[in-house]
Structure 1
């Protein structure tokens, strides 16, 4: 089990969560497809469900309902970047030309969060950990393994994330037009220009990848459970992957990674 025991370094993707119109249906879908366990949480947390894998937190699922006079959030997976100080991180977002969509707020004693967008329009979250650090297991079947920024302006995005979060970007060997994202020289994600295969009105976005033992079999589970396939399974430099949506329209990727070279 790839258990996370050290705190996430600032700038590192540390958590993902989903806002779904039918929260229970989403929990059931991901339990069936990725092997998670989860249940709707208590009222004091707004019913937020912390889904687990091997008894460790792996992702969150919440009900997509209007909050504080705001409309219900879209049905998407949100990537959260770790922040030592959420207020300072939100200020860095604004200074860099981004936008604060949901101001910094306390989440009980668990941590502090905000939802922001980079200058190219990609929405992501900020998480300042207190009692809750984020995903407790990663990089194994059923868990988060990669976070990828698909952006209309890679150069502008690269500059923004470096200046605001210390995330460096550089061309990835063997992957044309693909950039590796690193924090203190440690790989934390990827970045690429928006694919021509995407609909013309698709905004810049962060895409969450979940590791699986068998990409084709997982895609079959997705469709059997009411989801859809956006990109059929294919082989690429990091493994065999596919891009799919759940029955409520949230997009995510699954990948059976190639073994690490020793």
Structure 2
């Protein structure tokens, strides 16, 4: 969600090399493509809904009303919807720890690539209790169900890992359960995008009104940094370890 769709398209075209096409859900929305593959959606809705600009993961569901009821039954919050929106129904919710997510009932763009193979994007939930979060999302979204095509959930090296087939779709990371909650660090879903060169992406973001929101970190997965776009929405870019400069 963004307050200025045109500015957001210019920003992400320069920083991530995306191209945009109008979305079938209606005016004020666009789908981002990376080398012809759909990556993400942008919608100029934040002002109308009174919400800040932000990246939010949306999970496909069979029945939005059933999903909303499950969320309420488990002490979580329904923030918006479900509402009719273009070719389907959409809703926004917050899990019991406060992390915001969306869900969608309806048509899904073919070949949407988040979490598949060498996809340019993946998801991570950072929260206090990863196990409790995995139970909540598993029950609400039918993870690890018996139906054909359901995702599998496993616990690996202090992370809960969600897979669809052989592809890692999302990770849930927990920690600091024994400490008092930090009011400045709230649980949230982090969206990660791959880039070939970290410094180049950071420089492009700065030119278009964005900024670095964290130090650069290095791990076995590569070098990464959190960025804020020109409207304040946070996201993370990840580059190969050998891409410095």
TM-score bucket of the superposed structures, by smaller chain: 0.7 to 0.9
Match status 1:231 vs 2:214: yes
In the alignment, is the contact (CA less than 8 A) between 1:34 and 1:142 conserved in 2?
Answer: no
Q: What CA distance in whole angstroms lies between the structure 2 residues aligned with 1:29 and 1:202?
A: 26
Report the CA distance between 1:230 and its aligned residue: 1.8
Which of 3, 16, 33 lines up with 1:34 in the alignment? 16
Match status 1:162 vs 2:138: yes
In the alignment, is the contact (CA less than 8 A) between 1:58 and 1:138 conserved in 2?
Answer: no
Report the CA distance between 1:239 and its aligned residue: 1.8
Q: What CA distance in whole angstroms lies between the structure 2 residues aligned with 1:79 and 1:35?
A: 21
Report the CA distance between 1:25 and its aligned residue: 0.9
Structure 2 CA distance for partners of 1:134 and 1:47, relative to 1, 3 Å: farther
Which of 152, 164, 172 lines up with 2:128 in the alignment? 152
The alignment of Structure 1 onto Structure 2 pairs a total of residues equal to 231
Partner of 1:122: 99
TM-score, length basis structure 1: 0.74
Report the CA distance between 1:66 and its aligned residue: 4.5
Partner of 2:189: 206
Q: What CA distance in whole angstroms lies between the structure 2 residues aligned with 1:232 and 1:75?
A: 22
Match status 1:103 vs 2:81: yes
SS of the equivalent of 2:20 reads coil
**What are the superposed Cα offsets for residues 38-84 of structure 1, whole Å, 9 maximum, x if unpaired?**
26769x824112222234432122224554xxx42211101111212
Partner of 2:147: none
Partner of 1:82: 60
Structure 2 CA distance for partners of 1:255 and 1:33, relative to 1, 3 Å: same
**What are the superposed Cα offsets for residues 149-194 of structure 1, whole Å, 9 maximum, x if unpaired?**
1123333212211222244654433xxx433233567521112237
Which of 215, 228, 246 lines up with 2:198 in the alignment? 215
Q: Within 5 A, what are the aligned runs for 1:12-27?
A: 19-27=1-9
Partner of 1:7: none
SS of the equivalent of 1:201 reads coil
Partner of 1:49: 30
CA RMSD, Structure 1 to Structure 2 (Å): 3.2
Unaligned runs of 5+ in 1: 1-18
**What are the superposed Cα offsets for residues 84-118 of structure 1, whole Å, 9 maximum, x if unpaired?**
22222222222222221112223333x32211111
Match status 1:188 vs 2:188: no
In the alignment, is the contact (CA less than 8 A) between 1:228 and 1:244 conserved in 2?
Answer: yes
Which of 156, 164, 188 lines up with 1:172 in the alignment? 156
**What are the superposed Cα offsets for residues 194-217 of structure 1, whole Å, 9 maximum, x if unpaired?**
789x97333321110001112232
Q: What CA distance in whole angstroms lies between the structure 1 residues aligned with 2:112 and 2:32?
A: 10
